[in-house]
Amino acid sequence: MKYIELAFLCLFLISTVSSKQGLRVSGNKLLDGNGEEFIFRGVNLPHDWFVDKTELSFNDIAYLGANSARIVLGSGDTFPKTPAREVEQIINLCEKHNLICVLEIHDFTGSDNPNDITDLSMKYWNELKDLLNEHKDYIIVNIANEWEGSWNKGSLWADTYKTAVQTMRKNGIENAIMIDASGYGQETGPIIRDAKSVLEADPNRNIIFSYHVYSVLGKDDDSLYTGLDGLKNTGVCWIVGEFGWFQNGGSVVYKTLTKYCHENNIGWIAWSWAGNAGNDKVLDLASPRTFSRNNLTGWGDYIFYSEYGVQRTSKLAYTYKTYSGETHPIVDEVVGVDIPVAPAGKNTSLEVPFDVGVFTDYDWKFGLNGDPDTPVEVTTFEKLSNGGIRAHVDLARENYPSLIVLNNDGYDLSKYKNVNLIVRNNNANTVQVDLIFKAGPTWTWYEPNTPYPYIDIPGMMTQFISFNIEKVGDDLKDIRQIAFRIQPSSGAIGNPVDFCHMGFDEDASDFVEELTEMNRPKSADYFTWAYPDTSALGTPEESIKLENGVISMEYNIENSQMYGGCQTETRPGTGLGLDFSNYKVIKATLTNKGTSNVHCNIVLKTGSGWKWQESAGAKTPGGPENQEQIIGGGQSVTVYYYLNHSFWKTQAVNWQYADKLTGLDDVRAISFKLYNGAEVVKGVFEISNFEILTKE
């Protein structure tokens, strides 16, 4: 027995060799501690959101052949802080399964604030310095997930990460470092232009760069090849740290990506094992109910079983073993996963509650791509109630339709600084509008709002937008053509786009009241309510229905630790929220068609961290809000949830009804949570008369 134990111990020590040289970059390759090339074939694991599932997740991805994992941690600034003891447990699991692990903090996703990188993230990593250095053969430090969500921010990405890298090395962190691209990991310009200078700022020259490939970078083969080849040609070391097969209402060329990575020896880490919410639920590799390898989704089948998937291309570090388990037939594509359906766009009314401004001072016509001589063939238009124009577009069939006005004598716009529009987007997905001038006797083309020529109009929103025209200079005295060009941001655009108002040098505050009312969700039909919260195990997903403004769902809640309910993202698939800062109350009628009492709270999830904030509401206007909301069997109650009252349950007040709601300008999701005290409860629950109000 002792000999057997000794042999096993020797085998274990060999498989978890610690060279103390650490993972290191050599040219465009990542080398393990023995100096052999390592190519990622891994999975992202959502540790900080599902701490109790982490060990099971590690066991199962290792069983299926993964050679690496990227782990979601929290610094405590947005998500719960992952303490050092948990990080040590994660590292032990990495080494137990011989997985190279990337540790990332998710708190600053989408932030453009350099302080989040150069100060807050530095503090977190510095606290873990000794632990990280001790395990540098297995651990890579991904400074922050998808920091700098905005595009076209010049040198912000490079300057910030140069400072961060130098700080980490000064603090004594020796590990290989990973840095995500800007633009939520999908912007190609800054990383291609500046990756080498960021690398050179590291005295250790030990940085891996990372793209995240979704429906922007991965929207088609040309976009993908341009981004990947551009970074490859810089000669730096890089991987795909996240990717999916569908996102933000658009498909991703995932098959092209995995083939490219195989042919070019590029590593990848798929997003993600389980537990995605809302429209991102299609990116679960395993069932969120079980987190088990025995319940892979169609996405999971592709990642592990495809021709270029984990089991056919993964090789472990240090032991260099390949997958030797049970073989599975090759999976050619993702099947069996329902693509989320975004709301189709609700508005059909031509009514506009304000004047058209100077819009009717011009004789508009349609052309393509700012060219009046190229007529539209698909796009049509009709008048709005105030004289504005509704453009009936189908941007999949005809892109860049443009509203155009010509004047051979020229318009003198030299006294203005800005052109203002109010545009209503009747689509679920974002539309972009660009201003084009042609000026002077040579009809010089200007997109005066450059470097940000296109302005987003979020789905199902009416928005005041402003184009700065000062860069046109003296040519403003002779504007021969004005054009507003329409294009999609992502996803299908087949519903009308309304040009409601035009003016010069106006103030958005003059239209706040009217726009707030136009954008106010007036019924549950405004949203999808398509998916329950991932943890809402007490409600079968297929039972959630929305019809004529009434949400219905089943509930079967077996204990006090379980809850059910329904949830909607406010701007499905965009990763962005709605601005509720001008709203005061959410009102809804709650009807319990079961026979037992059931508790019901509303949950708002706000900001990039989807901060959970919960309210019981009041049964009468102005009534008490700090009591459990219990709906008796067969009972129907109208409840008022006050957005500006300090009776919200949050982690900061230990889940008491005592906090003020934060993040009202960025409400990502709305949930209704059903739960009980101790008894088993089951039945049907309805939510009707849902409305968001501007006055208490």
SS3 letters for 585-637? Answer: EEEEEEEECCCCCEEEEEEEEECCCCEEEEECCECCCCCCCCCCCEECCCCEE
In this structure, which amino acid lies at residue 47?
A: H
The CA distance from 592 to 569, in Å, is: 24
Helix, strand, coil percentages for the chain (3-state, nearest 5): 25, 30, 45
CA-angle at 588, arms to 582 and 592, nearest 5°:
160
Q: Copy the structure tokens of residue 694.
A: 């501007």
Q: What is the pLDDT of residue 161?
A: 98
How far apart, in Å, do the first and last CA atoms of the chain sit?
Answer: 76
Map out the domains of the chain with their CATH numbers: 2-313 (3.20.20.80), 359-519 (2.60.120.260), 524-693 (2.60.120.260)
With contact defined as beta carbons under 8 Å apart, do 274 and 287 qualify?
Answer: yes
pLDDT tens for 598-619 read 999 999 999 877 899 999 999 9
In this structure, which amino acid lies at residue 453?
A: P
What percentage of the chain reaches a pLDDT higher than 70? 94
| Catalytic annotation, residues | 146, 242
Q: Copy the structure tokens of residue 603.
A: 């949950």
Q: How far is CA 570 from the centre of its chain?
A: 13
**Helix 221-232 with 254-264: angle, nearest 10 deg:** 30
Average pLDDT, whole number, for the chain? 91
Which of 686, 460, 464, 689 lies closest to 570, judged by CA?
460
Q: What is the pLDDT of residue 4?
A: 36
Length of the chain equals 696
| Count of CB atoms situated within 10 Å of the CB of 115 | 12
The CA distance from 66 to 43, in Å, is: 7
pLDDT along the chain (696 residues), means of 10: 36 47 96 96 96 96 98 92 97 97 94 94 98 97 94 92 98 98 94 98 98 93 97 98 88 97 98 86 91 96 98 97 94 86 66 95 94 93 96 88 96 97 89 94 91 84 95 96 88 88 96 92 86 81 90 91 89 78 96 93 90 93 89 95 95 93 94 86 95 94
Q: What is the pLDDT of residue 573?
A: 62
Torsion of CA 624, 625, 631, 637, to 10 degrees: 70
The CA distance from 659 to 267, in Å, is: 45
Q: Per DSSP, which regions of 371-522 are E strands?
A: 380-383, 389-392, 401-411, 418-425, 431-439, 444-446, 454-457, 462-468, 479-488, 497-504
Q: What is the pLDDT of residue 445?
A: 93
The CA distance from 148 to 150, in Å, is: 6
> pTM of the prediction?
0.72
pLDDT tens for 168-194 read 999 999 999 999 999 999 999 999 999
Q: What is the pLDDT of residue 31?
A: 97
Which of 490, 484, 420, 494 lies closest to 458, judged by CA?
490
With contact defined as beta carbons under 8 Å apart, do 416 and 504 qualify?
Answer: yes
Q: What is the pLDDT of residue 343?
A: 55
The CA distance from 436 to 446, in Å, is: 6
* DSSP-derived secondary structure for 70-100: EEEE--SSSS----HHHHHHHHHHHHHTT-E
